[in-house]
Amino acid sequence: MLILMVGTGYVGLVTGACFAEMGHTVICLDIDKEKITKLQEGVIPIYEPGLEEIVKRNVKQKRLQFTTDYASALLSTDVCFLAVPTPSQEDGSCDISYIISAATQVASHMQHPMIIVNKSTVPVGTAAKVRSIIEEELKRRGVEITFDVISNPEFLKEGAAVQDCLKPDRIIIGADNPEAAIVLKEIYAPYMINHDKIFIMDTLSAEMTKYAANAMLATRISFMNEMAAICKKVGANINEVRKGIGSDSRIGYSFLYPGMGYGGSCFPKDIRALIAKAKEHHVETQLLQAVETVNNRQKTTLSQTITHYFSKKGGVQGKTIAVWGLSFKPDTDDMREAPSLTFISELLKRGATLRVFDPVAMPNARKMLPDDPHIVWCQDEFDAAKEADGIALLTEWKQFRLVDFKPVRHHMKGAAFFDGRNQYKPLDMKSKGFDYLSIGVPDQMGALNT
Ligand SMILES: NC(=O)c1ccc[n+]([C@@H]2O[C@H](COP(=O)([O-])OP(=O)(O)OC[C@H]3O[C@@H](n4cnc5c(N)ncnc54)[C@H](O)[C@@H]3O)[C@@H](O)[C@H]2O)c1
């Protein structure tokens, strides 16, 4: 079976490479010529642990190829996946123009019966729209070709995408034609050696499942951030509260971490899109709106903590803050809607200088942050901390876990540590001579210890 993956980004490249790893023959197509040329030269355009290895292995074994040419790619394609972007429009609703354009391109070049599978996160009803776009294009061409449209949303997590893809928790197949669903089941059969994880449903429910899953996860994050805000005021410790509630099997430990607010290319836009879809159908979404409001507030929490801390020390204006981590989460170079962007912009506005470092996201961050002399791009976390009045941990990369704080502290001007991810032990940081301020945990003032 020959699989065509239209869109070779985080989802398309990872799922395409994983299909090849499972033995399928895959062509990954993209309209971005530079990206495809890089891939053809063996350069992986994104950072994702384990990806380079499986891409290279499958290219070598001729199961994985890259192209920009729809016509030749569609000559022998059996199943065509769409994994193109679905960003937010200005009103928050989902922009499906990339889907429409990709579906139109497929329809204008397809030569034989085919299954078109939507992997992008799309509003409920998009499969039907894709179907009618393809029908129209085939009619315009004056050809009759049978086809099916399936919804197969993707649940991989950036940073663990290859593992998620090779060992998915579940596969959702939204199919209105049971025969097409059987073909998809065959494609995913190598993933089901242990037990069946496939749920077959109608396309509308499949599309909705993806949004409901992301909304649930975002809700847990905002819930914990709100609990953290209360903890901070009443003197409780959210780290203890998290363990206390996570031990309840009805709640569980996952996604209970307070922090900088959710970011990335999925949760923010998907919550907005779900709110917009509900509005279109006159459904009120108080809960989802609150999730978003809490999240927007959370993105400014740490910069406010910093401003407040320095208000008793001459103000934040002219202070230097080391920023550890820029990507929206560890193990990815993705900077889309990263909380670091809000954090940096808030502190620049207040006259601070930011000495920034991220293990892999610096190139993408440079494209998204202003060219400002108050942003200093550093070599590593130690370089960033030099002469800094304080350090802010924004992304919990593993290399920041076991830092030797003695030389760090020695080269700093000030002694503040602002932990946006609650990575360190407050009393330990205090004993190392830091004023340690984190999320939902009582502050520990240790600067006088040194
Ligand atoms: N990134 C994630 O973690 C993740 C997880 C699950 C679902 N999703 C969803 O998957 C979809 C894709 O997300 P992504 O992060 O992979 O996006 P991405 O921006 O990384 O990649 C999309 C790719 O599609 C290409 N493209 C755009 N129009 C095209 C066209 N007409 N023909 C061929 N290629 C085209 C772009 O050049 C780009 O390389 C989105 O709907 C997203 O919500 C993303």
Reported as a pLDDT band with limits 50, 70 and 90, residue 192 is: confident
User: Is beta strand 353-357 parallel, antiparallel or unpaired with respect to 375-377?
Assistant: parallel
Q: Domain limits of the chain? A: 2-201, 211-296, 299-449
Assess whether the region 2-201 and the region 211-296 belong to the same CATH fold: no
Distance of CA 387 to the CA centre of its chain: 33
Atom of ligand 1 nearest to the CA of 84: 24
Q: Which CATH number fits domain 2-201: 2.30.30.240, 3.40.50.920, 1.20.140.10, 3.40.50.720?
A: 3.40.50.720
What is the per-residue pLDDT for 342? 98
Of the candidates 328, 302, 331, the residue with the CA atom closest to the CA atom of residue 399: 331
Q: Is 379 exposed, middle or buried (0-12, 13-18, 19+ CB in 10 A)?
A: exposed
Q: What percent of the chain is modeled with pLDDT above 70?
A: 100
Tell whether the model's pLDDT for residue 231 goes beyond 60: yes
What is the per-residue pLDDT for 194? 78
The residue whose C-alpha atom lies closest to atom 38 belonging to ligand 1 is 9
Structure tokens at 445: 């003032």
Of the candidates 94, 76, 72, 75, the residue with the CA atom closest to the CA atom of residue 85: 94
Contact between 181 and 148 under an 8 Å Cβ cutoff? The reply is no
Q: Which residues line ligand 1 (CB under 6 A)?
A: 6-12, 29-32, 35, 83-86, 98, 101-102, 105, 120-121, 154, 156, 158, 265-266
What is the residue type of 294? V
Which entry of 28, 80, 165, 266 is annotated as an active-site residue?
A: 266
- Which residue reads 């999730």 in tokens? 291
Distance 144 CA to ligand 1 centre (A): 29
Q: If you ran DSSP here, which 8-state letter would residue 193 be given? A: S
Q: pLDDT for 103-162, tens place per residue?
A: 999 999 999 999 999 999 999 999 999 999 999 999 999 999 999 999 999 999 999 999
Atom of ligand 1 nearest to the CA of 6: 33
What is the per-residue pLDDT for 351? 98
Distance 121 CA to ligand 1 centre (A): 9
Tell whether the model's pLDDT for residue 169 goes beyond 70: yes
Q: Which of 15, 28, 46, 84 to mutate to test the pocket of ligand 1 (most atoms within 8 A of CB)?
A: 84
Q: What residues contact residue 90 under an 8 Å CB cut-off, 6+ apart?
A: none
What is the per-residue pLDDT for 448? 74
Tell whether the model's pLDDT for residue 450 goes beyond 60: no
As beta bridge partners, residue 435 has 416, 445
The residue whose C-alpha atom lies closest to atom 21 belonging to ligand 1 is 9
CATH of domain 299-449: 3.40.50.720
What is the per-residue pLDDT for 449? 58
**Whether residue 266 lies in the annotated active site:** yes
Distance 182 CA to ligand 1 centre (A): 26
d(CA 182, CA 371): 52
The residue whose C-alpha atom lies closest to atom 33 belonging to ligand 1 is 30
Tell whether the model's pLDDT for residue 398 goes beyond 60: yes
Instruction: Write 180-188 long-range contacts (CB < 8 A, 24+).
Output: 180/115, 180/148, 180/150, 181/150, 183/1, 183/78, 183/79, 183/115, 184/79, 184/115, 184/117, 184/150, 184/152, 186/1, 187/1, 187/3, 187/19, 187/24, 187/79
Atom of ligand 1 nearest to the CA of 266: 43
What is the per-residue pLDDT for 193? 79
Distance 86 CA to ligand 1 centre (A): 7
Q: What residues contact residue 10 under an 8 Å CB cut-off, 6+ apart?
A: 46, 48, 156, 158, 161, 265, 334
Q: Which CATH number fits domain 211-296: 2.50.20.20, 3.30.300.130, 3.40.50.300, 1.10.1040.10?
A: 1.10.1040.10
What is the per-residue pLDDT for 1? 84
